[in-house]
Amino acid sequence: MESPYKSDILKGKVALLTGGGSGIGFEISKQFGLHGASIAIMGRRQQVIDSAVSDLHSLGIQADGFAGDVRKQEDAKRVVESTFKRFGKIDILVNAAAGNFLVSADDLSPNGFKTVMDIDSVGTFTMCRESLEYIKKGGKGKSSSDGGGIILNISVTMHYTAYWYQIHVSAAKAAVDAITRNLALEWGTEYDIRVNGIAPGPIGDTPGMSKLLPKEIRDSQYIESNKIGEKWDIAMAAIYLVSDAGKYVNGSTLVVDGGHWFDKPRYLPKDAVKQLSRVVEKRSRQEPSGLAPPKSKL
Ligand code: COA
């Protein structure tokens, strides 16, 4: 689909993306690149990074890849430094690296829980912390006219209520949302850095989707097909948040899910509501005490 943004909206910006070699992370890398940014991709698997970088090059995008695991502080530090050496500055950090698997709470070991916390929550904080000296206003490589940079954290909606077989991810992303808000407060005030998030719904053709909705259950009507989004939807929201279009947005996690997270089964047909609402209303006028709590509780 064609982008609604001007193709130079991110011209001159340098973006570092964890998990930028596949899925949603790669689509954001690609769209940022097509809108003028230079791209550094961080990921664990060298061959995934190499193939992503070569795809970006074939689209005429300036890009490089650096292997590293966000769970290792030394990797985070090295990749941030390498990005700076390669491109001369860092304007945007996108934390898209995540870990996930389906598991019931009683089958999840504490180490399994910790593994996802380490990737999603601690990894996000580590990358933010290691990038601070570069992305803050007046940071390394920044000219005096440059404002502060931008951080974008990829989250989920699962922890807004609760989600089957996702206790580890729900906990980890709740922490990510807290990181987003707290850094927006502290670093927004002190360093002119905007920190926002995106909470995607089910997005087709991603590693997350194939883990949570494996093909064995994909046809089960669990999710209406019109509620499955595209990676493009997330990338467009990302451009909004990191460009000047979103300059007044700080500390927000934007839900981009077609309304999926508040999906609830309809418990009453619409026609029945029409009938019932009048009946109930009439009854409440005639017997107001019938709706009030017992007098003893007042
Ligand atoms: N069910 C239950 N526990 C599981 C599991 C599963 N499907 N997969 C992993 N675990 C547990 C392991 O048993 C281990 O715990 P233990 O030591 O108590 O046995 C712990 O998680 C770590 O597993 P390990 O395979 O050593 O971790 P890893 O670092 O190699 O891989 C994962 C990390 C598990 C998160 C892996 O899924 C991954 O690399 N994910 C990245 C890609 C991804 O998930 N993308 C989707 C993003 S939405």
Give the pLDDT score at 263: 82
Residue nearest to atom 30 of ligand 1 (CA): 115
Residue nearest to atom 11 of ligand 1 (CA): 112
**Ligand 1 center–CA 293 separation, angstroms:** 51
What gap in Å lies between CA 41 and CA 179, rounded to an integer?
22
CA of 284 to the centre of ligand 1 (A): 55
**CB crowding 93-124: b at 16 or more within 10 Å, else e:** bbbbbbbbeebeeeebeeeebebbbbbbbbbb
Closest ligand 1 atom to the C-alpha of 119?
Answer: 35
Residues of the chain with pLDDT under 50: 298
Predicted local distance difference test score (pLDDT) of residue 287: 82
Q: What is the reported pTM?
A: 0.94
Q: What are the distances in angstroms from CA 286 to CA 69, 116, 290, 296?
A: 67, 56, 9, 22
Residue 281 is predicted with a pLDDT of 87
Q: Which domains does the chain have, with CATH numbers?
A: 14-265 (3.40.50.720)
**Cα 204 to averaged position of ligand 1 atoms, centre (Å):** 22
Q: Whose CA is nearest to atom 43 of ligand 1?
A: 99
- According to the model, what pLDDT value does residue 292 have? 56
Q: pLDDT tens digits, residue range 203-233?
A: 999 999 888 888 777 766 666 656 789 999 9
Is the CB–ligand 1 distance for residue 101 below 6 Å? yes
Of all atoms in ligand 1, which is nearest to the CA of residue 110?
18
Residue of 101, 106, 122 with the most ligand 1 atoms within 8 Å of its CB, for mutation: 101
Q: Is the CB of 100 under 6 A from ligand 1?
A: yes
- Can you give the pLDDT at residue 21? 97
Does residue 208 have its Cβ closer than 6 Å to ligand 1?
yes
* Phi, psi values for residue 5, rounded to 5°: -95, 160
Residues 85-134: tens digit of each pLDDT: 999 999 999 999 999 999 999 999 999 999 999 999 999 999 999 999 99
Tell me, using a 6 A CB cutoff, whether residue 115 lines ligand 1. Answer: yes
Residue nearest to atom 7 of ligand 1 (CA): 101
Distance CA 255, CA 67 (A): 30
Write down the pLDDT at residue 40. Answer: 98
Whether ligand 1 lies within 6 angstroms of the CB of 211 is answered as yes
